[in-house]
Chains A and B, each alone.
Chain A
Amino acid sequence: MPIRTITGVNIEVNDEGFFEHPEQWSEDMAPELAREAGISALTDDHWKVIEFMRKEYFERGTGPTVRVLGKTSGVSIKDLYQLFPKGPAKVAAKVAGIPKPRGCI
Chain B
Amino acid sequence: MAHRIVVLGGGTGGTLTANRLRRLFSPAAATITVVDQDDEHIYQPGLLFVPFGLADPAEIVRPRGRQLHDGIDYHQSGVDQVDIAADEVHLADGTLLAYDALVIATGSTLVPEETEGLTGAGWMEKVFTFYSLPGATALRSALAAFRGGRLVVNVVDLPIKCPVAPLEFCFLADWYFHQRGIRDRIQLTYVTPLDGAFTKPVASKTLAGLLEQKGIELVTEFNTGEVDGSGGRLVSYDEREIAFDLAVTIPVHSGAAYVGRSSGLGDELNFVPTDEHTLQSHAKPNIFVIGDAANLPASKAGSVTHFEGEVLVNNLWRFLDGQELDASFDGHTNCFIETGFHEAMLIDFNYDTEPLPGHFPTSVGLPLLKESHLNHLGKLMFQWFYWHSLLPGHPIPGIPSGMPHAGKHYPARVDRAPTATN
Contact = CB atoms under 8 A, between A and B. Distances in A.
Interface in B225-282: 225, 237-238, 252, 268-269
Contacts of A86: 221, 238
Contacts of A87: 221, 223, 238
Contacts of A80: 237
A105 interface: yes
A67 B221 contact: no
A103 interface: yes
A13 B319 CA distance: 42
A50 to B, nearest CB: 19
Chain B contact residues, majority secondary structure: loop
Interface size class, chain B: 10 to 19
Interface in A64-105: 65-68, 71-72, 77-78, 80-81, 85-87, 102-105
Contact of A105 (B223, B238, B269, B299): B299
Contact of B223 (A66, A71, A104): A66
B92 interface: no
A32 B268 CA distance: 32
B238 A85 contact: yes
Given A104-B159, A105-B163, A81 B237 contact: yes
A78 B223 CA distance: 11
Contacts of A103: 158, 199
Q: Which of B158, B160, B163, B252 has the most CB of A within 10 A?
A: B158
B297 interface: yes
A78 B225 contact: yes
Interface of A: 65-68, 71-72, 77-78, 80-81, 85-87, 102-105
25 contacts: A65-B157, A65-B158, A66-B157, A66-B237, A67-B157, A67-B269, A68-B268, A77-B237, A78-B225, A78-B237, A80-B237, A81-B223, A81-B238, A85-B238, A86-B221, A87-B221, A87-B223, A103-B158, A104-B158, A104-B160, A104-B297, A105-B163, A105-B200, A105-B298, A105-B299
